[in-house]
Structure 1
Amino acid sequence: MSRFEQDFKHPYAYDPKYKKRVAYFCMEFAIDQPFKIYSGGLGFLAGSHMRSAYELNQNFIGIGILWKYGYYDQVRKGNQEMDALFQEKINNFLEDTNIKFTIEVNGHPVWVTAKYLRPGVFNTVPMFFLTTDLPENDYLSQSISHRLYDADASAKVAQYMLLGLGGAKLLDELEYNAEVYHFNEAHALPASFHLAKKFNGDMQKVKELLVFTTHTPEEAGNEKHDIHFLNKLGYFNGMPLDEVRRITGIENDTFDHSLACLRLAKIANGVSKLHGEVSNDMWNKYDNICRITSITNAQNRTYWADEQLYTALHKEDDDKLLDRKRYLKSKLFETVADQTGKLMDPKVLTIVWARRFAAYKRADLVTRDKERFNRIMNNPDRPIQIIWAGKPYPMDYGAVSIFNQLVHLSKDYGNMAVLVGYELKLSRKLKQGSDVWLNNPRVPREASGTSGMTSAMNGGINLSTDDGWIPEFANGENSYVLPLADLNAPVHEQDEQDMNSLLDVLENEIIPTYYDRPEDWNERVKNSMRDVLPYFDANRMALQYYEKLYND
């Protein structure tokens, strides 16, 4: 009996459809509020996947990193602007595995151990979290697992090595003979070099094990580093550079991690139908890449959906549905009042923009026409309330600046709030309390974007550009979708077109429908709740990964 089967096995018999052993590698997982090891959408997606794999009785485990200080705690300065607090996290629900081994980083042995998350704690598959925060290591080695997405390039690459090399070594220690190594983004790529050594350079054997999910068309999400810098750090696990170049096909000195994954994996996927098309357009100019299909992201219904809303929907009790929605709004507004001192009204149309702050997501788009925004915000006959929340990467000073500009703008409006601490608990409250979920990334920059799915599961209506998952969901009766801007125009012109379309839809469609035709509004709410399930429940996604990637 393997070490895994003896000490860490699944608490269920595997469904025959899911018997193939899968190890899923990801830098971040948003599993439950107490476990703060995630930054944004990638983590939210991965957390839902772990829950759905558990619900479906899959032969599946998750491998991540135990971030001592998490991503960061978002707090406020004295003037209400955001600040980043790096505070040690205590995770007493994790168990010691008593497994220790070393990986070599920059020519030095670094000790690694793994903590175990038992399935019954948060209803996930068995999960293992790697850490270098051990007394056997010097401080520099300990700090590898301190901060998610460390700003220092050497530290960040060492983190990828911890996930990839450390995760692959952990599987050996567990005697977990994985039949699939699933890289959720390219961070775990060093595992492939561990496997190459394990199989004596037989790259066909390696290729048969690897599948790769790419989550972003963004340049920043497809990282590149100098190949000699990576080699010095030990990223290639001792493989000579000539051999690295031969197997990855990378001839110059710029090592493209995503491209290497696409050449070493047997199959890859984008995370929406549109993103699958965008990914093929991006990567098909390169030779020897694997086939890229698509599996649309989803979120776990059990965790996210308010069951009382769905009970009212199924009973066709519109009054109960409206009462429940107003109650959920009032619970959100308690948080708004606590953070900002502003008292909001559950009867007023409430718009929420909440997700990771990044430039292409354009958090401030609705505010850019100051005259129209002011007119909408100050209409006493048809009032609205608008709430922002989200964590910028703390070193992304442009995104932090936009967050802070919104904070200062909110001081002029009693019906506008900007919240800090956008984690799972607040995210759920915002989804449950939103009437309109605002999503306005530049097309086609949003690979999937899952936050609107969970808003729809809680009676929210999406107002979105036609990007990511939206083309697969929107049908004219369950959401509002902006007309496509001219994608050949300069970016500032695209932004202006989208801003004008957004304000037109708000002024001429959404606000009048909410106040003048409440029956029509309620029908759209119910359509949204019906149409988001079951396709955008992560159980469908977890099934499709077996059907389209693992069993391919």
Structure 2
Amino acid sequence: MDFRNFKMPYTINDKYSRKVAYFSMEFAIDQALKIYSGGLGFLAGSHMRSAYSLSQDLVGIGILWKYGYYDQARNMDQTLQVTWTEKMYNFLEDTGIKFQIDIHDAPVWVKVWYLNPETFKSAPMFFLSTDVPENDFVSKTISHRLYDGNAATKIAQYILLGKGGARLLDELNFERDIYHLNEAHGLPAAFYLLQKYKSLDKVKEKLVFTTHTPEEAGNEKHDFNMCYQMSYFSGLAMDEVRRISGIQDDQFNHSLCALRMAHIANGVSQLHGRVSNEMWGKYEGICEIKAITNAQDYKYWSDKQLYKAKEDNDDERFDDRKNYLKKRAFKIVADQTGDIFDPNIFTIVWARRFAGYKRADFLLNDRQRFRNLLENKKHPVQIIWAGKPYPLDQPAIDTFNKLVVASKDYHNMSVVTGYELELSKRLKQAADLWLNNPRVPREASGTSGMTACMNGAVNFSTDDGWIPEFVNHGNNGFVIPKADYENMSTEEQDRYDFEKLYDILENEIVPLYYDDYDTWRQIMKNGMDDVRFQFNSDRMAEEYYDILYK
């Protein structure tokens, strides 16, 4: 293939003829390609697979992380160990393209790799790397670790994604109508375009932005002078950057600037769209913020045999399939922890990125109540935890380790490592109940419950993210009813959610599973039906064309 004059490798559906480049720091395309950390990557991966299945004129642009996010191993006492292993990707194609971009006023070589759409049935994708012999060691490390903890390295990664990705499109001679930033990491692309076109209106015409962060403090800021010195703004004068961004203090807010340079943006659930408008509405000059609810790829995630049994109305085959899925996943649990789980016992799974607001150890807030739950003989329960804390987030790592230590006291409580695509799928198949208990309204979307539903798990969640659009309590899942959270302290909110969670779990959910399984099975089926189309990423990819790209 002649990459210097790149053409889309499949026939485009006329409905999706707008030419789009999708910039993201992470993509969860396949277990073999370890360039993602969590939900942002899972979302981007599903988007790329749906873009392929709908024949959209869209390419993905990311970074080829030499060591990935990190590999989750264990210390001798079973606690978390962060390890870094070089990844090998023989299925990627060397484009032969190398070019230089300025980072910190010095030229850095960028090498480009290509993922053929047929490899994983995704949109065509390009991955940038600075790990080449021509670069010095510091420049090589830019593409080593996803979300590097060093501020200067992180800014350099944003420059690589944004400026490097925009430059790549020029190298490919591949004109795009839309530059879609999945989070603000790729914002340097906007300044590259500004230098190219010398017109802010032209940049705005091309730029769209998806924000995933529902509170202002969570949006990344970096020292303005550091960004300037590192060539983040493609040579634009500081006064001009301040005029365009509207930021006058010493902290450069990437998301706020993106909202001012894009012509339209979106939140990732209907609730998050409202929260984003309230959060950013006090600032002048921001673009319109719409809402496009996240979704996941049904073709990739769902268990087809479980759906077939449901559609055939064969309850015996349906139950047998779910039992098999649980047994298969429990072999992973047994291998890692030595705990032998029973597929006939009610199984709760809490699995996602470990972050403070997600409250991974919430069930353990009252140790006696937790013990009563796990030692109930009439209605036995078994629980699995999994997820990757950010490797420098010591409180999250401490929470993970706290759960590991607690699990040593119970034969029916396990904490497993290696929470990536494959384990995620297996745990969703293992779950009778998919537990999600973030503080409202901290979860912008939270898509893991969608894919859990596609494998016959029932959602139980606080009323946040996508949940208000989905859960009908007692019909297709269970939800903790919202309180007046705005007038509660964090401690009051936690106490309210905790009491409601245990009350619903002990008095509604667990007894229903054991005493009226026919009703439980129907709730499973209702969830599978309700998630099937509304929260399939084909719907989402179509909405991006209808709402953001048109």
TM-score bracket relative to the smaller structure? over 0.9
Which of 19, 24, 30 aligns to 1:32? It is 30
CA offsets, 1:312-354, max 9 Å, x none?
0110111111100000000110000000000000000000000
1:417 and 2:418 equivalent? no
After the TM superposition, which of the residue ranges 138-147 and 246-255 deviates more from structure 2? Answer: 246-255
> Paired residue for 2:9?
11
Which of 207, 228, 250 aligns to 2:247? It is 250
Report how many residues are paired: 548
SS in 2 for 1:313: helix
CA offsets, 1:437-460, max 9 Å, x none?
000000000000000000000100
1:63 and 2:61 equivalent? yes
- Distance across 2 between alignment mates of 1:362 and 1:4: 46
1:310 and 2:326 equivalent? no
Q: Is the 8 A contact 1:70 1:148 kept in 2?
A: yes
> Paired residue for 2:330?
333
Shift, 1:10, TM fit: 3.2
- Distance across 2 between alignment mates of 1:429 and 1:221: 31
SS in 2 for 1:409: helix
- Distance across 2 between alignment mates of 1:136 and 1:221: 36
> Paired residue for 1:169?
167
Q: Is the 8 A contact 2:215 2:279 kept in 1?
A: no
> Paired residue for 1:104?
102
Q: Is the 8 A contact 1:4 1:176 kept in 2?
A: no
> Paired residue for 2:91?
93
**Aligned counterparts, 1:261-410, within 5 A:** 261-410=258-407
SS in 2 for 1:93: coil
1:501 and 2:500 equivalent? yes
> Paired residue for 1:52?
50
Q: Is the 8 A contact 1:22 1:181 kept in 2?
A: yes
Q: Is the 8 A contact 2:4 2:171 kept in 1?
A: no
CA offsets, 1:155-208, max 9 Å, x none?
0000000000000000000011000000000000000110011012x1000100
Shift, 1:486, TM fit: 3.4
> Paired residue for 1:140?
138
- Distance across 2 between alignment mates of 1:49 and 1:220: 27
SS in 1 for 2:463: coil
- Distance across 1 between alignment mates of 2:346 and 2:265: 42
- Distance across 1 between alignment mates of 2:120 and 2:215: 32
What code does the residue aligned with 1:459 have? G
SS in 2 for 1:133: coil
Shift, 1:9, TM fit: 3.4
Residue 132 to residue 44, structure 1, CA distance change in 2 (3 Å): same
> Paired residue for 1:526?
525
- Distance across 2 between alignment mates of 1:219 and 1:335: 39
- Distance across 2 between alignment mates of 1:4 and 1:470: 43
SS in 1 for 2:232: coil
Which of 175, 181, 184 aligns to 1:183? It is 181
SS in 1 for 2:102: strand
- Distance across 1 between alignment mates of 2:350 and 2:448: 10
- Distance across 1 between alignment mates of 2:484 and 2:196: 51
> Paired residue for 1:77?
75
CA offsets, 1:492-539, max 9 Å, x none?
111111111111111000110000011110110110110111010000
Which of 204, 207, 212 aligns to 1:210? It is 207
> Paired residue for 1:478?
476
Q: Is the 8 A contact 2:294 2:447 kept in 1?
A: yes
> Paired residue for 1:229?
226
- Distance across 2 between alignment mates of 1:252 and 1:364: 38
Shift, 1:250, TM fit: 1.3
> Paired residue for 1:516?
515
Which of 412, 422, 427 aligns to 2:424? It is 427
- Distance across 2 between alignment mates of 1:346 and 1:9: 50
Residue 371 to residue 486, structure 1, CA distance change in 2 (3 Å): farther
CA offsets, 1:367-387, max 9 Å, x none?
111111110100111101100
CA offsets, 1:223-279, max 9 Å, x none?
111211111111111100011011111122221100000000000000000000000
Shift, 1:4, TM fit: 4.9
Shift, 1:12, TM fit: 2.2
Q: Is the 8 A contact 2:3 2:95 kept in 1?
A: no
In the alignment, structure 2 segments of 5+ residues that lack a partner are none
Shift, 1:221, TM fit: 4.0
Shift, 1:485, TM fit: 3.4
- Distance across 1 between alignment mates of 2:389 and 2:495: 23
1:537 and 2:530 equivalent? no
- Distance across 1 between alignment mates of 2:214 and 2:302: 29
SS in 2 for 1:380: coil
- Distance across 1 between alignment mates of 2:339 and 2:216: 39
- Distance across 1 between alignment mates of 2:213 and 2:88: 31
Shift, 1:220, TM fit: 5.8
Q: Is the 8 A contact 2:7 2:174 kept in 1?
A: no
Q: Is the 8 A contact 1:437 1:455 kept in 2?
A: yes
Q: Is the 8 A contact 1:30 1:36 kept in 2?
A: yes
- Distance across 2 between alignment mates of 1:423 and 1:120: 22
> Paired residue for 2:434?
437
- Distance across 1 between alignment mates of 2:329 and 2:126: 34
What code does the residue aligned with 1:157 have? I
TM-score by length of 2: 0.98
Please provide the CA RMSD for this pair: 1.1
- Distance across 2 between alignment mates of 1:196 and 1:91: 35
Q: Is the 8 A contact 2:191 2:233 kept in 1?
A: yes
Structure 1 stretches (4+) deviating beyond 3 angstroms?
2-6, 8-11, 218-221
SS in 2 for 1:449: coil
- Distance across 2 between alignment mates of 1:63 and 1:74: 26
Shift, 1:51, TM fit: 0.2
- Distance across 2 between alignment mates of 1:427 and 1:353: 11
Shift, 1:5, TM fit: 8.4
Identical amino acids, percent of aligned pairs: 60
SS in 2 for 1:32: coil
SS in 1 for 2:294: coil
Shift, 1:3, TM fit: 5.3
Q: Is the 8 A contact 1:213 1:268 kept in 2?
A: yes
> Paired residue for 1:548?
547
